[in-house]
Every structure is written in C-alpha cells, then in structure tokens.
Amino acid sequence: MLTGDGLLARIRPLGPLPIAKLLALCDAALECGNGVLEITQRGSLQVRGLSAISAAPFARRVFAMGFEQQTAPPILPSPLLGLDALETADLRPVLEELRMGFAGHPMLKQLDPKVSILLDGGGGLNLEGVSGDLRLRAMSDSRLQMSIAGAATAAIPLGTVAVRHALDVTMQVLSAIVQRGPQARGRDLANPEDVALLRMRLAAVLSAAPADPPRPAVEAIGTHRLQDGRLALGVALAFGFTEAATLQSFARLTAQHGADSIETAPGRALLVVGVQAAGAAELAMAAASRGFIVRPEDPRRFIIACAGAPACGSATLPTRLVASQFAHAAPALLDGSFHIHVSGCRKGCAHPGVAALTFVGADGLVIQGRAGDSTQGLVRLDQAIAGLARLDAVRRRVPWGAGSSAQMLSRLGVEGVLAALDGTQ
C-alpha cells in the first residue's frame, strides 16, 4: 500500500510469533523500511517506510521467515487460540482447515477484500467486540455458533454446527455473499429472507438449539491464564505504533523472563506468551518504560491518531505528537466514555467512524462526526490543548459534571464545547 512515507506492508499473524521470528521481522523493518511498526485495531502488524526498491527484498525475507501469503477472505482467530485456559475447544485445526480450504479457491476471488471470518475459541480473551462478516465461536458444548454481520451483540445468529462442518458451512455462507455481488458483505444477508434461506441451505448440519449468551468484551491489556499455568501479559501500543528497535529491546527482555512468543491482538495490543506470574509486574513496568500502555484506563487509549506528519505526505500536523499532548493535557477527561480522533487530513484513515471530537489538519474541528464531515469550528492546536484542560475544569466545576465526560459534552452542546476549546467560555 502506498502511503506518505513510502510503501506499507500489512502482515496478519495467525497466532503467536516466536521471539526470534519477531526479532527478525524487526530487523527487516529497520533495514528495508523506516523502522516504524504499527498494530491496527484488528491486530494486524504494519511495517512502514518501504521503498519501491526495498519492498521486494522485504517480502522475500518475510516469506523466508515462514510467514505465508494471507488467505482470502482473511481469518481472524481469537488471541491465544489453543493456549487460553478458559477455552472450550482448541480451534487451531479448524483454522488450518479453513486456511487450506480457502487457498486458491476460485469462488473466493470474487469476494470483497473486506469480508472477514472470525474464529473464536470461546476463551477468556474473546472477539465479542470485533466486527466480522461471519463469526464462528466455540460454545461450552464444543459446537460452533455461527452468526453473520457485525460484532457479537449485533450479529444475527444462524444456529450451531459440529466443528467438523466448519469449512463446509463457511463456504456456503461465503458463496451466498458472492451471489449478492462483488461489493457484498455479510450485512447484505442480515435480513429475515436471506437468513431463512441460509438456514434452509444449511439445514442438514445446522441446529437451532440455543447458543451460549454473548460474553462481555475483554481487554487484552493485563494478564491472562494459559493452559500450562503460565500467563500471557497484554500491553498496547500508544496510538498504535512503536519503533522496531523499541519492540526488539522489549522482546529480548521478555525472552530473558522465559516468554516463548509474542502475539499481536485486537485493540493495538501485544500479548507476551509464557510469562511466569512472579515476573509479570516487572515486565509490565519494563513495557511502560518503553512507552507501551499497561493499564486499560490509560487516557492514550481513547485518542485515535493516524500516522500524520512526517510519516504521511498528506498530513498537515504531527498527529501522534498532538495526541500525546492531548492525553497529557486532560487525562481525567479521557475516561473512556468518548474518543478523540486526531486526523492529519480529511481522509480519516485511522478511524472512518464518528468520534466525539475530531481534530482535522491544523485547525479543523468536527463535533460528533467524521474527519471528512464539514468542520463546525476552527481551533488552533495550542488552543485545543489548553481547551481540553478547560473542558475538564468545566466537568469538575458544574454541578451536573459528575457523570461521564461524554454526558458532559452532550450537555454542553456544540456551542459550549467550542467555547471551552477556544477559550471564550
């Protein structure tokens, strides 16, 4: 993918990366790219700053490390698949079966590239909050619950199937999506007629028995119990990026603590796999000293920033630096009830959705909208930084400010928020 700082390579690891492999990938990112690594909201790894000359050698190195060409459609397994102590079934064989079944299948070439399959082993670290076109989740009786279109609470359940039918039913659903046209997604089947038709097609293997209820979405940040009694330690990258050299130094340290591997996970997270309970706190401190996020309530988690300047040629501001200044200016305001989006231009790459406050370019502000929407005000960045602190002060001052920050913003309305941000309130 061409970006402002050269070519970007996206890698979707299908499980934990042995530490030696991650170190080798960081070496390749340093030698062929600009050394900036990102983890996306869905847990993919991105290597930035490749050039037309270095991209092919980088690809050769990555394939030589054992990374494989990604399947179409992409499969997103739940983190710690086959390792999580709370899992109800080890779905790694299903993952492999799907991967092999998808490889080179002519029908799948007609799918929209955004179509994705989620495979959730039913463990503690689940995929309930992640959106997918088809969801397959292991239930307590080890059957698979199938549902289509969206995150767990919104997806439409189809029924349950035995694990051995996973590939067959997946292909049937994908075929139904293909029949709806080249841009079709799972949501195009999420209506009573298509759901009834799908259930009819799958009737020979589908059971309508009630499935397990949805579970609360779980944060990757923190510790998670593994089947072998050890832990996985989850940390996240602030604003989704780090330097390859920083990641290497952390990865070497985790190896000294006995960890086997590191897995990328949704929420821009890294899971260090195989940590002893006694060493987890020390490793978390080492991660924090490298700028990683180790507490779910860290205010940086509630600011989304694109690559910005200087990485992106379209950017008019250093988005990640600004995001960091915002987080420092008003940590209490960033209570997780709303998101701030800092976008270097109107394209809004980092967050296509609505955010409570979207700062666009040098001075544009969109309230309750997207980066591409018309701006409701112009606020210089230095004003905005002080303005966020003023908003926090308003929250503490007014009698109705005891609720969440999101409630306070909606009560203030567009005019009140603008006045606080530009200092006229």
| Contacting residue, 349, 385, 389, 393, with ligand SF4 by CB under 6 A | 349
Backbone angles phi, psi at 72, to 5 degrees: -120, 125
| Contacting residue, 7, 156, 315, 420, with ligand SF4 by CB under 6 A | 315
Q: Is 306 in the site for ligand SF4 (CB under 6 A)?
A: yes
Report which residue's Cβ sits closest to ligand SF4.
Answer: 344
Q: Is 4 in the site for ligand SF4 (CB under 6 A)?
A: yes
| Contacting residue, 180, 347, 370, 411, with ligand SF4 by CB under 6 A | 347
Distance, CA of 26 to CA of 420 (rounded, Å): 43
- CB 299 to ligand SF4: min, Å: 21
Range 276-314 burial, b when 16+ CB lie within 10 A, else e: eeebbeebbebbeebbbbbeeebbbbbbbbbbbbebbeb
Q: Is 358 in the site for ligand SF4 (CB under 6 A)?
A: no
Q: Is 387 in the site for ligand SF4 (CB under 6 A)?
A: no
Which spans in 290-423 are helix H? 319-329, 381-397, 405-422
**3-state SS assignment for residue 80:** coil
Quote the tokens at residue 71: 């399947």
Q: How far is CA 68 from the centre of its chain?
A: 21
The single-letter code of the amino acid at 190 is A
Q: Is 307 in the site for ligand SF4 (CB under 6 A)?
A: yes
Quickly tell me which residue has 């941000």 as its tokens: 421
Question: Considering beta carbons, is residue 195 or 349 the nearer one to ligand SF4?
Answer: 349
Strand partners for 144: 138, 161
Window contacting ligand SF4 (CB under 6 A); options: 29-37, 42-50, 250-258, 304-312: 304-312
Question: Considering beta carbons, is residue 185 or 341 the nearer one to ligand SF4?
Answer: 341
| Contacting residue, 43, 159, 186, 308, with ligand SF4 by CB under 6 A | 308
- Does residue 408 contact residue 394 with C-beta atoms inside 8 Å? yes
- Does residue 234 contact residue 223 with C-beta atoms inside 8 Å? yes
Q: Is 348 in the site for ligand SF4 (CB under 6 A)?
A: yes
Strand partners for 84: 226
- Does residue 418 contact residue 366 with C-beta atoms inside 8 Å? no
Window contacting ligand SF4 (CB under 6 A); options: 76-84, 118-126, 142-150, 301-309: 301-309
- CB 342 to ligand SF4: min, Å: 9
Question: Considering beta carbons, is residue 5 or 298 the nearer one to ligand SF4?
Answer: 5
Q: Output the CA torsion sign for 322, 323, 326, 327.
A: negative
**3-state SS assignment for residue 207:** strand
For strand 132-138 and strand 117-120, is the pairing parallel, antiparallel, or unpaired? Answer: parallel
- CB 304 to ligand SF4: min, Å: 11
Q: Is 345 in the site for ligand SF4 (CB under 6 A)?
A: yes
Distance, CA of 97 to CA of 169 (rounded, Å): 12
Count residues near ligand SF4 (CB under 6 A).
Answer: 13
Question: Considering beta carbons, is residue 267 or 308 the nearer one to ligand SF4?
Answer: 308
Window contacting ligand SF4 (CB under 6 A); options: 155-163, 195-203, 308-316, 327-335: 308-316
Window contacting ligand SF4 (CB under 6 A); options: 36-44, 224-232, 302-310, 322-330: 302-310
Q: Is 343 in the site for ligand SF4 (CB under 6 A)?
A: yes
Interface residues with ligand SF4 (CB under 6 A)?
4, 306-308, 312, 314-315, 343-345, 347-349
